[in-house]
Each structure stands twice: as C-alpha cells, then as structure tokens.
A and B are shown apart, each in its own frame.
Chain A
Amino acid sequence: MNRNRFFHFLVHLVLITSIVIIAFPVFYAFIVSTQSFQDVFVYPPKFTPGTDTIQNYVAAWKTVKMGRLLFNSAFISVAVAVGKIALSLMAAFAFTYFGDFRGKGLFFVIILITHMLPLPIRIVPTFELMRNFHWVDTYYALTIPFFASATGVLLFRQLFLTVPGSLCDAARVDGITPMGFLMRILVPLSKTNISALFLIEFLYMWNQYLWPLVITNRDEMRVVQIGIKMLLAGQAQAADWNIIMAGTILAMLPPLIILFVMQSSLVKGFSMQEEK
C-alpha cells in the first residue's frame, strides 16, 4: 500500500515537472508581452508581469495589420478544412458504395500519391502555375492546392466499411438517393471523425508558413505566421521583444482555443482509428 502511494506521488511529480518545463517558454513569452521596453532589457530578467500590456498588443496589432492577417489565417484554415472534409467524404463514398467502376484502382492510387508529394517537391512549378492563373496574392492560391486529402479519404473509407450493409439496403428500400444516403446517414454517423479531421486540418493550415511566404506579396494577403516574421524583421539591433511577443501570443491563441474546445473529438477520432 505504502509503495503504491509513493509510486503515485512520483507520477504526479514527474508530470507536474514536465508540464512546467513544457509550459515555461510560453508563460515567459506572455510575461514579456506585458512588459515595457525597459523591463525587457533588465538583467537578471524579470519574471513578473509589466504594465504595458495594452500598449504592446495595440502596437503589434497596428504594425502589421494584425486584424487582417488573423482574418486571412482563419479564413483559409476554415476553407481548407471544410474543403478537404467535403472532397474526402465524396471520394470515400465513391470508393465504398459503388461497384468496380472503370478506373477505380487508378483513382485510388492517384489520391494516395499525395503522401509522396509534399509541397517542397513541387513548389517551383506550382508557383509558376499560380502566376499563369494570375492567382498570386489571392485566396485561391492559398486554399485550392490544399483541397485534396489522402488522409481524409482513408479515414472515411475505413469508417464506411464498418457501416452495416443492412443500413444501406433498408435506406434503398425506402427509396433514398445515393446523395441522400451520404448526407442523411453517413455524414451524421461520421460526426466524431469529421470534427477530429476539422481540428487536424485547421491546425495544419493555420500553421503553414512556406507556401504563404512564397505566394503572397501584398501586406493585405499575408497570414499571421508571416506577420510574426514581419514583426521580427522590423527590428534594428535591440529587438522589441515585448511587441513581438504580443504578436506571437495573438498568432497562437486561435489554434490553442480550438484545440481546447475540440480536444475530446481529437482523442475519440484517433482511438476509433486504432480499432481496426
């Protein structure tokens, strides 16, 4: 009994220590975002909140059009997540609920191949393609090339394969159309996976850096990840860490909030994954 207690104490101790170590950089970043320029440069560093919180956040907001950048990031992240989910639901439905139509295998391979072609491998020609489409500095360039998702197709296909065939038979007897079956039966059944995928794809898109850097030039079309770099690069010798950190905190808050809100679906979505 005593040994067991000691073990539990040890588990708590290790977990708390790790959590503190992991959280420290973000905690410190937040503290700095509240300090004045003078506070930031005292030695030893101050670990207490300062008095310039509002000024810093206002300065960060104004220096790089933060409102617009946050809107752009949110817009493209939601658009890509929704687009990927819609297209993969449709594709997975085609693969599981229709006979062996011509080209089925080939199409499956084509969609799977996305895994082998991450952006850096095709970035130069894709950039040229965007220029030919006149899509530089547009939301089209920031979203459409990301719409296909092998992950989503595989996820929904696995799920659809576990749906009992009798459900489909019954629905057909009731005269339901294929699209009706997809929308009214399969989509509600996939709710947990849809939210898990939404979370994953939202974070994936929100955190994109290289493609937005290459494909946007105008300040109005930049995303918040590039905004951080613009804050950093605007500095001369001594960095205004307080203002940079205010911008960084603003950039990390939306995805963190979404993660906390949707966390349970993430875990459920993943554990459904492992059962098969």
Chain B
Amino acid sequence: MRITTPARRHALVALGVTAALTLTACAGTSGPAGNTAPKVDVSTTIPSDPVTLTLAYTNDPPTKALIDGFTKKHPNVTIKPQMTPFNDYIKSIKLAMSSDAAPDIAQYNPGAMNSLVPAGLILDLGPWSKAYGWNTKFPPASLEVLSSDKSAKQFGTGSLYAVPGGLSVLGVFYNKKIVKAAPKTLAEFEAAMKQAKDAGHTPLSNGALQVGGFHLWNALLNVTGDVDDYRSWVYGKPGSTIETPAAQKATQLLTDWAKKGYISSSASATADPDALASFAKGGSAFLITGNWAASTLETEMGNDVGFFLMPTESADKPANVASGASVAYAISAKSKHPNVAAAFLDYLGSPEAAKIEFDGGFMPVDTKTELGAQGLRGEISTVFAQVAQNNGIVPFPDFASPGMIDKLTPGIQGLINDKMTPDAFLRSLQESWDAHHGS
C-alpha cells in the first residue's frame, strides 16, 4: 500500500503540531515547588481512633515484622506495606511521593531523597526528634547520614529526614577450615592470604562486577584513613577531597593485592551473589561483605565461618570504624497522620524492635540490647557493638555523589586489571564529587 502525497503531508503536519504542542505546552514541567512543609502539632501520644497508614519499602526482610510488632502494640493502627523490588524502588518512589496518594512512610534512599528533600516532599523530623529524644535513642552516626541541608547536597548537617530501622556493618568473613584464626593486623591478613594462595586456595572472593570491589576498597580506607576526612567527603562538606595520602595508601594496597594474585582479574566479571556462593562452597579463604550475608553463610557453612573487621596496622588499636548502611524511614509531607507515623519511627529504636531487626538480618538500632546471639552472628554483633558505641559506623562511598557508583565500580575493575593507576582512580572519584558539589 502506497501512501499518497497529501496523506503523508497530513501525517507530517499532525506530527509537527503534536511536537509543537508537546514542546511548548509542558515546557514548565509540573512538579511541586518550594519547601512549604505544612504546620504540624507535634505530639508523642497517638490517637485511639482507627488510623491507616501506608508504608513504601523495598525488599528488606524486617520491614513487615516491624510493622507487625508496632501494630500489635497499637491495635487501632493499620499499616499497609507496599513493596517494590530494589532496582525499581528509587525510580518509582520519587513519583509515588510526588503523587496525591503518597505513602505516609517511605523507606529512605539517598538516591531518591536528593530530589525529595528539596521538593519539600518529606518532613523535617526535628520536632519529633526533640520530643522523643532520638539523639540518645539512636546511634548519633546513624542519624548523621540521614540529616541534610535543604538542597540535599550536604549531609551530616541541617535537618533530620529519616530514622534508621536496622543497621549493617562491612567486614571480612573467613573460612575457618582454611584460616585458623582471625588476623589481628593488616600484615597478618596479608600473610594469611599468601598462605591460602600457596596452599592452592583462592585467597579472596570478590564481586567487583557489582559492589564487592569498592566494598573491599572502602574497608581498606576505613583502616588507613582519617574518619573525619572520609565523613566530610561523603557528606559533601565544601572543600573536601578524596585525593589524600590515606586514600592513596588504601588504593595502592588494593592494587598490590591484585598484583600478588590475592584478587583475581575474574573478580571484574563476578557478581556479588556469585562471589558469596563461591565462598560459601569453600572456594576461597576470605570474603569482604556486610552482615547481610550472615544468615546465608551460617546455613551453608555452619560453624566453619567467622567474621572480623578489616584489621588495622597495629593490633593494639583495633578497628573502630566500619562502613555500614541503614534501612531508614521518612515521613511524607502529605501524610494526614504524621504523629502516628513518627510513633512508628520511634518504635524502631525500641528494645523489642532490636530483636526483630537482628532476626531479620540487620544490626539493631538500639545497640545496648543484649541479643545473646551465638556463632557467626554472635561474632558480628560483638564487633558491631564496639564500632557503634564508638560512633564509628560511616556511610558507603557511593553516597558522596549521584554518579559516584559509576566511577567506583569500573575504577576498581581498572585497578584490579592493572589498567588504572591509584592516582587516576582517586582523580576520577573527585571529578564526580566536584561535578555535584562544586570544587
């Protein structure tokens, strides 16, 4: 069938008109403007009338259990959970929060919040924090990450926008069949890797295709660097830099380990779950990842697996800084029941919630609760308590700027493959930082 000339012309005109309409009519794309948060009467008592809240979260196990725990205490409150798989969460939560039917409570995600905070779509929790005394209830470092200025560019300052409902900690798992005891210094760790290699084992499983690579770098940076420098950089404090001698040292160490064959070049093509599976099957001596892997490893390896924090250079000064993320929850500025939502947030820091968080694979927010955990999880909670009480839980480096993860992952691959120098790697990170925060 041939299209006759005028028909074609009509089609073109139609297309042109549509295009013009699209280009002009919606040029000022809609979106909520300004920071006009509604006035709320802050209260720590919640009404006894029936209240229904919705809670948007992504696939982390304790959320539902925490909801159940809270609603058992307050039978008049119903919380409807809305789960979205992690990969879609950031994309959909922005739209959900700006819609008229926004969920009352939403799991916090730094990627999403850097537009939700400036748009005034989530509440400043300051008044409730004061009323409930959250500063003493939650580890200060865990709240710091969730505070930001109004532009959501600089963190660790300004208002509080969410509170944590479970923490995590990054460290080293080891196979007790291959490695007899947890190394106490970096030198011992290196010697243990050499020994494992000489005995024909893979020293370190690593999923550098995904986040495993930069977790390893991050763990090293935690023990070579100054924690204040690192925090300032991740939080976007003006004038911060990652091009420091400490970061240089951590990066060089990683490069050396790759050259010595402790990290194989195949790590660049290994996903995190594959690295975990390989370690669980006894395929390697060490695996650097977070406590979230604990329950899988316990099931697979029983008593043959242990956990320690990345050791420092001296055994006298054990690590008291470790990276960790938190699952955290924010309250929508459109919520009709912000006081009830805040009561749920407060519940997250209670000793009862601590038990639920721990059973769900997280480290409890209330670090003083005795958990009486045994085995691997006992080992993890012991080292975690030490770090948390020292206020040493710091955020992951990809938090520093929106594009950072796309510099970290390929950068570490470049280091492992000997295609990038430590200097060039740190420069690329700083470029991404500068682009977001301004140099």
Query: Is chain B a partner of chain A in the same complex?
Result: no
Q: B-side interface residues toward A, CB under 8 Å? A: none
